[in-house]
């Protein structure tokens, strides 16, 4: 039987469940699933599995009934659907935390919470990089206190200790001759199940960047550009930014002789509404002097 706790996508579970039932009984169909769930429209089930319809709060209990979940499994599936369909990042974050609390989930994904912490809490990546600093002390209270003070006491020594423990559990760092070292030179967002946690991380570090305006210019570099761009050039621009970020990391990350930890953020987003188009005729003169130019901002 398929284990629902192994899934972080309710549609993937339903598709696998349907395939499992179909292989066990060739006569099984969407109509049978709809009947078992008490859903009058057999086409609705296929639309949900195909991603063309969301599961409504009215239909959700019926699907739980049709699949014949246990009480605990039904609660997990109910939360999973809400997690998958949540639009607000904060709501998604809270629902993910609820998913991790299910006992069946803990048995299946032992490292889920550590992975979530690493990609959702800004200071995990900061601590990971701080281990490269020349002044970084060895293991113990001295290390946790140093981390707290080095991060402007925005986290406590206990939070630093918990972060080190999570990083060690997931094998990103290890203790070598009394000092923690990185096991990987470069850690990328893995996508998939914890991809939304990376979004939380990105939101937090962007918010933190606002505090740096009060710091001396020699400690920061903030610049931006507003430009008009062709639709077909957008994928190429995004790829350029992605490659630049990786190359920047490879060129400047000093694993053996670092003395500072910096954060690089790049945001490239749409300022105009692509769904709105003015229906009237554009009366603007096509004179070259009226052509738009990119506006640069630096500070």
Residue 297 lies in a domain: no
Residue 30 lies in domain = 4-98
Determine contact, residues 122/129, Cβ cutoff 8 Å. Answer: no
Residue 48 lies in a domain: yes
Q: What is the pLDDT of residue 14?
A: 96
Residue 56 lies in a domain: yes
Please give the Cα distance from 291 to 202 (Å, whole number): 35
Residue 237 lies in a domain: no
Residue 53 lies in a domain: yes
Q: How many domains does the chain have?
A: 1
String of DSSP letters for 31-100: HHHHHHHT-S-HHHHHHHHTTSSPPPTTTHHHHHHHHT--HHHHHHHHHHHHHHH--SHHHHHHHHHHHH
Residue 13 lies in a domain: yes
Question: Considering only CA atoms, which of 294, 287, 237 is closest in space to residue 266?
Answer: 237
Q: What is the pLDDT of residue 243?
A: 95
12 three-state secondary structure: helix
Number of residues in the chain: 299
Determine contact, residues 118/253, Cβ cutoff 8 Å. Answer: no
Residue 266 lies in a domain: no
pLDDT (tens, 9 = 90+) of the chain, 299 residues, equals 789 998 989 999 999 999 999 999 999 999 999 999 999 988 999 999 999 999 999 999 999 999 999 999 999 999 999 999 999 888 988 898 898 888 776 555 544 566 777 778 899 999 999 999 999 999 899 999 999 999 999 999 999 999 999 899 888 899 999 999 998 755 555 444 456 777 888 888 999 999 899 899 999 999 999 999 999 999 999 999 999 998 998 899 887 789 999 999 999 999 999 889 887 655 444 454 444 556 665 66
Q: What is the pLDDT of residue 106?
A: 58
Q: What is the pLDDT of residue 190?
A: 47
Question: Considering only CA atoms, which of 218, 119, 104, 234 is closest in space to residue 166?
Answer: 119
Question: Considering only CA atoms, which of 121, 117, 95, 96 is closest in space to residue 202?
Answer: 121
Q: How many CB atoms lie within 10 A of CB 208?
A: 15
Q: What is the pLDDT of residue 186?
A: 56
Residue 198 lies in a domain: no
């Amino acid at each position: 039987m398929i284990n629902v706790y192994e899934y972080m996508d309710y549609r993937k579970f339903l598709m696998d469940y349907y395939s499992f039932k179909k292989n066990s009984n060739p006569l099984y169909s969407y109509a049978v699933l709809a009947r078992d769930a008490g859903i009058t429209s057999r086409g609705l089930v296929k639309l949900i599995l195909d991603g063309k319809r969301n599961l409504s709060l009215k239909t959700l209990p019926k699907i739980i009934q049709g699949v014949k979940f246990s009480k605990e499994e039904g609660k997990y599936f109910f939360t999973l659907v809400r997690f998958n369909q949540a639009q607000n990042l904060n709501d998604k974050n809270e629902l993910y935390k609820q998913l991790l609390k299910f006992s069946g989930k803990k048995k299946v994904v032992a490292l889920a919470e550590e992975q979530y912490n690493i990609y959702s809490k800004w200071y995990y990546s900061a601590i990971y990089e701080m281990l490269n600093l020349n002044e970084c002390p060895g293991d113990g209270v001295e290390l946790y206190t140093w981390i707290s003070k080095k991060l402007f006491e925005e986290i406590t020594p206990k939070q630093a200790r918990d972060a080190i423990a999570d990083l060690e559990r997931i094998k990103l760092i290890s203790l070598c001759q009394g000092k923690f070292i990185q096991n990987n030179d470069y850690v990328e967002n893995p996508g998939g199940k914890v991809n939304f946690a990376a979004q939380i991380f990105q939101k937090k570090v962007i918010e933190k960047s606002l505090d740096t305006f009060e710091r001396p210019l020699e400690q920061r570099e903030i610049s931006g550009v507003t430009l008009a761009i062709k639709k077909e050039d957008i994928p190429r621009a995004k790829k350029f930014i992605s490659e630049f970020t990786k190359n920047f990391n490879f060129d400047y990350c000093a694993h053996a002789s670092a003395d500072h930890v910096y954060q690089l953020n790049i945001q490239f987003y749409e300022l105009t509404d692509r769904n709105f188009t003015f229906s009237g005729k554009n009366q603007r003169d096509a004179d070259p002097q009226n052509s738009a130019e990119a506006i640069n901002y630096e500070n």
